[in-house]
Structures are given as C-alpha cells and as structure tokens.
Amino acid sequence: MKTEELKNVDSANMPRRSFLRYAGVGAASVGLLATAGCQKDHIKTYNGVDIGSGDTGILNYAYALEQLEAAFYSAVVANPYTGMSDHEKKLLTSIRDHEILHREFFKAALGSSAIIGLTVDFSSLDFKNRIQILATAKAFEDLGVSAYGGAGYLITNPDYLTIAGKIVSVEARHAALIREMISPGSFAGSDVVDSNGLNQSNEIKVVLPIANTFLKTKVSASNFGYKA
Amino acid sequence: MNLINIIEQLETVDPEIAERMSPRRAAIKNITSFGSKVAIAALPMAFATVFKKAYGAAAPAAVSDVLNFALTLEYLESYFYNQGAAASGLIPNNNSGYVAEIQSDENQHVAFLKSVLGTAAVSMPAFDLTAGGAFPTVLSNYDTFLAVANVFEDTGVRAYKGQAPNLLGNQVVLGAALSIHAVEARHASVIRQIRASRGVDIAPWITGNAGLSNDTGIGAAVDASYAGENNVMQGGVDVTKLPSIYGNSTAYGVAVEAFDEPLSMAAVLAIVKPFFK
C-alpha cells in the first residue's frame, strides 16, 4: 500500500490530476482515523473552522493557505529529504521563512478576526522522498498562486488587494523555483500557464478541498460556496 | 504590463471604460467562468472583441493613443527577446528553451494589442537595447542579456502589481491581470535562477539590504527598477517585528524577500525611456 502510494507520486512531472487523486487517498485515510477516534472517545465535535465573509473571509482564506505552506516547509527543513544539497536546503529554508512571515502577517493583520491556528496532517507524506516532497511543494505553490488569482476579485479593499498582489508574485517565484528543481524547463509549464500566457486561476471551492486533505482542522468557506 | 495599464489609462480618457468592460456585458458573459480552460484560452481574443464592440470600428484617438503606448512597451519586450533569440551564438543551446518560452509570451501580448487596435496600431519604433550605452554587450554577451532580462521581468511584475487596485472587483479583467502578473513572476524567478547557475550571487526573489534593494549586481543603472523594494511596512505593520522561527523578530532580508512591491506608471515610464531611440 505504502509502496503503491509512493509510486503514484514518484514522477518528475506529476500532473495535477495525479496530485488530486493522491490527495484524495490522503483525505480518505484522515477521515477514517477521525471516525475511529470519535467512536472510541464518544466525542462529537465539528473539528473545523469557517473563514467567514467579506474581506475578512478572503484574508482568512489566505491565512489558512499560508499556515499550511509554513507548516509544510518547516517540516521539510526539519526533516531533509535524502540527498538534499546545501544549495537546496538554503533555498527551501528561505521559502520556509517567507511562508512563516506570510502566516504571521495575516495573523497580525486579522487580529481578533483571525481563524485559529490549524492542525496539519502530513502523515501521508514520506519526508525522506525528494521527488514526493518536491512534487507536493510544487502542488502547494501552484495551488497558492491559482488561489490568489481566483479570489482576488472578491477583495473590496484596495489596500488588501495590493498586499495580496505583493505576496502572490513571491509565491509564483517559489513555484517557478520548485518546478525547476524537479524538472528543468517547467517553470511555466502548460499545466499551469495556457497558450496565451495566462496563469491558471482556481476558485475557493476548488482550492480548499485540496488544502483540507493536509489539514486535521478542516477549513470551510460557507459564504463562498464551500462547506468542508 | 499591458492589460492593467491599458485599463487604468483608458479610465482617464473614458470614465465609462469599466462599464464597457463589465462582465455583465454580453460580449464577455461567456468568459466569466475562470474554471473553464476553454474560457481562459479564449480570453485575449474575447477581450479584443469587447474593445471593438465597445468602441465600434475605430476607437477614439485618445483611447488608441493609450493602447498604442501599451503596444509600444510590448514591442520593446518582444523585440528584446526576438533579437536575443536571433543573435548568433548569444544563447547557449541548453538555455534556448527558456528564452523561447518567454519570447512566445511577449509576442502574444503584441499580437493581442495589434488585434485590438487593427489599422490604428503604430509600427514598431526604433529601440536601443543598450539603453544609451549602459549595456553595450546586451546582444553579444549572454550574461548581459540575462541581466537586462532580469530587470525587465522584475519591473514587469512591479508594473502589473501597481495597477491591480484599479481593477478592484472585476472578475474578468483583474483575474486576467493577476494571471499575467503571476507569469511575469515565474519569468523573473527563472531568469534569476539561470543567472545564479552562471555564478551571479542572486536568488529567485528580490533580496533586500539596509540600503537599496537592487540585488542584480548591475549597478546604479537599474536602481530605479528596485526603488522601494526594501520596504518592510505592510498594511501598517512593520513585518520585521513579527515572529519568525528564530524568535520574536524577522530578519530584514526575509521581510523584503517575502513581499514584492508595486511600481507606479510614471516610474515604469522613466525606467524604460533609455531603451527608446
């Protein structure tokens, strides 16, 4: 089972479909564990959080994604994959620090409106497997860029939009780097950039289910058409 | 830098441009769903159609002037990559794919604007890729070519970002603009990676220091492209005072790297001016 899962993502150019399928496997496992836990402890709680509405909702959405990315890169740097070069470690450490700052920025900007700190679940990942970890990083970065592109128009405060813009281009720089680490020449691959030079955009209801496969604390966006 | 600058400039000569470009209008009703790949692929052509429907066969002179200005900037970028790709012995074989990918994007921008303007489109002006002698070997030395590309791409990212608030709430146009903006950032990242692989001490992102954030190693000639990139105040928050993995503050360099800054239209104009003959 484990071997089969690994094989599934052990590809230099894991297409999004494969990532979704792979992510789906993770979701099933997490769900199973959660169910078992509830039965054993007789505790019935909604183990989730809703981002809210309006600009606060969009900022919380970004905050949730940045929490996920920060936790992921923290784990990557703390448990280096087999064969991580000093150069790679330096770059991944920089990305970790950027994502942590993005997370802390949103937390500070949202103040008392911020959602809780999310509990992540990376149990489906083998942090020693370079290809699998970089493929996951690629998926996170491309997803993040597409999320900002897809939700930007929902922001009503121009200052918030500017700040989102300041962050998304850094995420795109990360995406292009991770892609080059996996497969040179794929920095703007046709799976994320179309033939007119436009980056893929994704709506909240597309992004959150994917993010939730790596979260114990499920994130909903009921005001934006998605309930976890 | 085409789409958003066009809109912003058009608003100054035609306050009703937003209404003309509204997603409610039938011409672009069918491309408001960004979930559809077909819709995204159709966007630039549909955008051109909207302009034609909004203004009829010939747009007012003021509108054409703005579009032609944007076209002129795109001419510069496409000319740069086309000349680079054509220069014998300039681009190493193992890098030709990178340049071709970016070259293709810039040529698409030119084609798009020309299709919008039709017979009103200006011809390509004469360019000086050496920027008045600042980069004399731009078409004979690959590292110089990359350095200029580096600045063009970083400036492009900043130019797009500077205009995004003017498209607030417009799902179609802001969505497209953010999409192009992200692609510019991918370009900037990979050009920087190529330079790093050739021995330049540079990261995929813009790294700051206590002075100016011109980390390109090119010198004062391109300082204007990086002016203000060393800003650490975000939304009224000094982000160096936020926690990091190392404690209750964040390193200055990280604070600068984690946020790209916008650039005004006037600043972009001043930056590209030396490249026009």
Among residues B255, B42, B221, B200, which one has the least CA distance to residue A167?
B255
Q: What sign results for the dihedral spanned by CA atoms A81, A85, A86, A92?
A: negative
Least confident of A146-150, A174-178, B29-33: B29-33
Which pLDDT tens digit goes with each residue over B16-67?
Answer: 655 555 443 333 333 333 333 333 334 455 555 656 666 665 666 666 665 6
Chain A, 136 to 175: residues with Cβ < 8 Å from chain B are: 145, 148-150, 152-153, 155-156, 158-163, 165-170, 172-175
Would you call B236 helix, strand, or coil by DSSP?
coil
Helices A130-151 and A16-41, axial angle in degrees (round to 10): 90
Chain B residue numbers touching A204 (CB-CB < 8 A): none
Distance CA B120, CA B117 (A): 5
Tokens found for residue B95: 């890098």
pLDDT category, B208, cuts 50, 70, 90?
confident
Looking at residue B118, the DSSP 8-state letter turns out to be G
Reference B51, options B114, B106, B108; nearest CA is: B114
Instruction: For tokens 């912003």, name the residue.
Output: B8
**B266 — pLDDT class (breaks 50, 70, 90):** confident
Nearest partner of B235 among A163, A218, A134, judged by Cα: A163
Mean pLDDT of B260-269: 83
- Largest pairwise CA distance in chain B: 62
Percent helix, strand and coil across chain A, each to the nearest 5:
65, 5, 30
Tell me the C-alpha distance between B262 and B277, whole Å: 27
Residues of A in contact with B112 (CB under 8 A): 196
pLDDT of residue B3: 46
DSSP letter, residue B204: S
Is A201 close to B242, i.e. CB distance below 8 A? no
CA distance B63 to B256: 37
B-chain residues near A188 (CB < 8 A): 101, 105, 183, 186-187, 190
DSSP output for B2-19: HHHHHHHHHHHH-TTHHH
Q: How many angstroms separate the CA atoms of A226 and A207, rounded?
A: 10
On chain B, the residues whose CB falls within 8 A of the CB of A109 are: 234-235, 237
Q: What is the pLDDT of residue B39?
A: 35
Q: Which two tokens stand for residue B260?
A: 């790209």
Is the interface score ipTM higher than 0.85?
no
Does the pLDDT at position A158 exceed 80? yes
Place of tokens 């992921």: A72
Q: Is B276 helix (H, G, I), strand (E, B) or coil?
A: strand
For residue range A53-98, list pLDDT tens digits in order.
Answer: 999 999 999 999 999 999 999 999 999 999 999 999 999 999 999 9
Higher-scoring residue by pLDDT: B13, B83: B83
Mutation target to probe the A interface, by most A beta carbons within 10 A, among B98, B180, B189 is B189
pLDDT (average), residues A25-53: 53
Domains and CATH numbers, chain A: 51-224 (1.20.1260.10)
Handedness of CA B196, B200, B201, B206 (dihedral sign): negative
Q: Is A177 exposed, middle or buried (0-12, 13-18, 19+ CB in 10 A)?
A: buried
Annotation: CATH topology of B59-231+238-275: Ferritin (1.20.1260)
Q: What are the pLDDT digits (tens) for B144-200?
A: 999 999 998 998 888 778 767 767 777 776 777 788 789 889 999 999 999 999 999
Q: Does the distance separating the beta carbons of A162 and B262 come in below 8 Å?
A: yes
Suggest the residue from B108, B186, B190, B256 to mutate for an interface test with chain A (most A CBs closer than 10 A): B186
The rounded distance, in Å, linking the Cα atoms of A182 and A14 is: 10
State how far Cα A114 lies from the chain centre.
18
At A199 the pLDDT is 86
Domain boundaries, chain B: 59-231+238-275
In 3D space, the residue among A66, A24, A47, A32 whose CA is nearest the CA of residue A213 turns out to be A24
CA distance B36 to B199: 42
CB atoms within 10 A of CB A85: 10
| Of residues A228, A220, A180, A170, the one with CA closest to residue A52 | A220
| pLDDT tens column, B73-131 | 788 889 999 999 999 999 999 999 999 988 987 887 788 778 777 888 889 989 999 99
In the numeric block, the tokens 């390109």 are attached to B216
Selection from B219, B224, B216 nearest residue B267 by Cα? B224
